[in-house]
């Protein structure tokens, strides 16, 4: 570690020695003579410009990319062929850094950078190893090491890290303090692993019950609540020196298409966009958020070209930069997603950059994307000044987070991960999020003198819920089905339900799953009291409003299922409030308690 810190210190000293006088500042970026700039701002500006002057075009182009690679170490020999077969353009991280001068990497579970459960020492060592390689290059520039750690259904660091219930659960608590607490803990744990950039929080306003990609990843359907909690999380990340990234601009909350697999169209008019979708992003900009991620969505009211926002200059440059006043980093959503691939492969990164993006995230073919950008600059399609503008923002972000001075993380920092106090905070959020929506004849809380049968898709954790209730002394049996239960499974569940006093159906986005709906209908047909608990999106009640009881859980993580058991048993009195409307049934803000 001492060697690593010495490399960083020498790099910083070398760059400072190369600094130019203020008179040679490049034009086209922030003017150091403008009001409000102090000597410190001018010095930072000169430092960045001097660094850029000594970078080659190839090094500048590389800084625009954040890529994924397979492997658990910088030179993992077990993944060399996998990387080559998957168009990573190099056999390992080290080769990619040396060949493409990349600006950053993104960690995933499926690339084995972070395991499930995580090997904390391995991830910590991977991050330090990557930064050491980056700082040992001809032009030492630390890496963005990024991941998606939203909490809830999207988090790469799970056990033994702190698993949080997620954004819509936070929305149900209505607490900006809890939102900030969760982000502070996530930020601390990420930094302990060397991750300095988080693609969170989600600023999307979920107003569509059929949304297949956002749903519980959104705080709420109310743009003011989304703004409040999103800004609270962003500021907490920044306090931990982790770059937050508001996503997905200009708003992915009203779609029934998943942009991973298709190209959604948002047909909101300008007034709705201003009052709903854009409002949280403007709040984030006003609060000084570091980065914003684009969405692969078509928004005809903002750009009638048919191009997704990621490739739209009217949306990214004219609206986000000029009208909304954002001068931080604009990051594409993953360029490997179907919603981005509406042009030829070599055109996508070039058009995304021309639209106004600074960072090209996760191109599906690294070598092709890098060479396409290099050729576009050499041919004059993209000016080097435009490249310099983005490189300036990238280096500025890295400087302001202290990465040039020390990009490394201590080996013993992993002691900060999954601590008792962190886990207790996740439990507190979960307890305060569970929402009792319906409770006819006071079917809840359960009484220990009744037998209980729990069934539902395995993704909805009926067996884990049963284990939790059994540990509290309840007489419980469980039966897990497929996500779309077969008729045989429905028959089996109905027969077991008939032998119980009370039935609990755990559901998983059942409002869009006809087979799950048939299962709940069959359970109601037994004549036994049926309590449904939506383990993901809270809209499931739309499909079976006649159930006797209904709870919204907002996620299938253990922390949420454990809180659900505490509520069902009466150990915790439910206090969560609906963060969304359940159409034609219950309004935003509805809740019941015991």
> Catalytic residue numbers?
260, 333
Q: What distance in Å separates the CA atoms of residue 329 and residue 335, rounded to the nearest whole number?
A: 16
- Collapse the DSSP code of 331 into the 3-class scheme (helix H, G, I; strand E, B; otherwise coil) and give the result: strand
What is the signed CA dihedral for 553, 557, 563, 566, rounded to 10 degrees?
Answer: 100
Token pair for residue 313?
A: 């200059």
Q: What distance in Å separates the CA atoms of residue 522 and residue 345, rounded to the nearest whole number?
A: 49
Token pair for residue 68?
A: 């994924």
Q: What distance in Å separates the CA atoms of residue 335 and residue 40, rounded to the nearest whole number?
A: 37
Q: Which of 562, 593, 588 is closest to 222 using CA atoms? A: 588
Q: Are 305 and 263 in contact (CB under 8 A)?
A: no
Q: What distance in Å separates the CA atoms of residue 520 and residue 515, rounded to the nearest whole number?
A: 9
Tell me the CB-side half-sphere exposure of residue 551, using CA atoms within 13 A: 32
Is the torsion defined by CA of 534, 209, 157, 410 positive or negative? negative
Cis preceding-peptide flag for 117 (omega within 30 of 0): yes
Q: Are 216 and 153 in contact (CB under 8 A)?
A: yes
Q: Are 21 and 47 in contact (CB under 8 A)?
A: no
CB atoms closer than 10 angstroms to residue 174: 21
Q: Which of 318, 319, 339, 321 is closest to 265 using CA atoms? A: 339
**43 contacts: CB under 8 Å, gap ≥ 6:** none
CA triplet 469, 472, 473: central angle to 5 degrees? 95
**370 contacts: CB under 8 Å, gap ≥ 6:** 61, 62, 65, 89, 100, 363
Q: Are 47 and 15 in contact (CB under 8 A)?
A: yes
Q: Which of 173, 190, 204 is closest to 237 using CA atoms? A: 190
Q: What are phi and psi of 115, to 5 degrees?
A: -80, 170
Token pair for residue 224?
A: 């003011």
Token pair for residue 11?
A: 């790099």
CB atoms closer than 10 angstroms to residue 553: 32
CB atoms closer than 10 angstroms to residue 585: 14
Q: Which of 252, 325, 335 is closest to 289 using CA atoms? A: 325
Q: Which of 255, 168, 254, 179 is closest to 219 using CA atoms? A: 168
CB atoms closer than 10 angstroms to residue 441: 8
């Amino acid at each position: 570690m001492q060697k690593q810190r010495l490399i960083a210190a020498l790099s910083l000293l070398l760059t400072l020695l190369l600094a130019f006088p203020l008179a040679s500042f490049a034009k086209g970026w922030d003017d150091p003579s403008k009001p409000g700039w102090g000597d410190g701002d001018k010095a930072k500006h000169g430092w960045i410009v001097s660094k850029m002057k000594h970078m080659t075009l190839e090094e500048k182009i590389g800084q625009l990319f954040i890529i994924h690679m397979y492997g658990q170490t910088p030179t993992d020999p077990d993944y060399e062929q996998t990387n080559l077969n998957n168009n990573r353009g190099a056999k390992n991280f080290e080769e990619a850094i040396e060949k493409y001068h990349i600006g950053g990497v993104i960690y995933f579970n499926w690339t084995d950078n972070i395991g499930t459960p995580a090997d904390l020492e391995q991830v910590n060592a991977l991050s330090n190893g990557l930064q050491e390689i980056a700082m040992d290059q001809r032009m030492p520039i630390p890496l963005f090491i990024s991941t998606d750690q939203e909490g809830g259904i999207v988090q790469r660091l799970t056990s033994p890290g702190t698993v949080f219930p997620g954004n819509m659960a936070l929305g149900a608590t209505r607490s900006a303090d809890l939102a900030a607490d969760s982000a502070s803990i996530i930020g601390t744990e990420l930094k302990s692993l060397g991750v300095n950039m988080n693609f969170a929080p989600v600023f999307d306003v979920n107003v569509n019950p059929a949304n297949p990609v956002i749903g519980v990843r959104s705080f709420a359907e109310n743009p003011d609540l989304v703004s409040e909690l999103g800004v609270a999380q962003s500021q907490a990340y920044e306090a931990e020196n982790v770059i937050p990234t508001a996503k997905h601009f200009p708003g992915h909350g009203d779609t029934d298409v998943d942009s991973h697999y298709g190209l959604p169209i948002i047909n909101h008019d300008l007034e709705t966009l201003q009052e709903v979708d854009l409002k949280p992003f403007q709040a984030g900009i006003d609060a000084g958020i570091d980065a914003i991620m684009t969405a692969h969505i078509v928004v005809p009211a903002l750009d009638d070209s048919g191009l997704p926002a990621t490739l739209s200059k009217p949306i990214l440059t004219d609206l986000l930069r000029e009208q909304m006043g954002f001068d931080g980093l604009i990051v594409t959503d993953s360029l490997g997603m179907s919603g981005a691939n509406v042009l030829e492969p070599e055109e996508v990164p070039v058009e995304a950059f021309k639209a106004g993006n600074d960072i090209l995230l996760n191109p599906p073919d690294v070598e092709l994307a890098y060479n396409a950008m290099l050729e576009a600059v050499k041919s004059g399609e993209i000016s080097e000044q435009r490249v310099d503008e983005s490189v300036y923002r990238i280096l500025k972000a890295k400087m302001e987070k202290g990465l040039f001075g020390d990009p490394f993380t201590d080996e013993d920092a992993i002691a900060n991960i999954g601590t008792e106090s962190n886990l207790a905070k996740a439990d507190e959020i979960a307890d305060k999020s569970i929402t009792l929506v319906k409770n006819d004849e006071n079917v809840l809380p359960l009484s220990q003198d009744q037998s209980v049968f729990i069934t539902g898709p395995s993704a909805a954790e009926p067996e884990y819920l049963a284990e939790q209730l059994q540990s509290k002394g309840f007489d419980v049996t469980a039966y897990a089905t497929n996500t779309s239960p077969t008729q045989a499974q429905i028959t089996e569940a109905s027969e077991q339900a008939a032998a119980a006093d009370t039935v609990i159906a755990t559901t998983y986005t059942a409002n869009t799953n006809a087979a799950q709906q048939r299962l709940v209908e069959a359970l109601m047909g037994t004549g036994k009291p049926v309590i449904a608990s939506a383990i993901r999106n809270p809209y499931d009640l739309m499909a079976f409003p006649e159930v006797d009881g209904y709870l919204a859980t907002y996620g299938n993580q253990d922390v949420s299922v454990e809180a659900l058991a505490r509520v069902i048993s009466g150990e915790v009195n439910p206090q969560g409030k609906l963060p969304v409307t359940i159409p034609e049934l219950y309004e935003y803000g509805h809740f019941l308690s015991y």
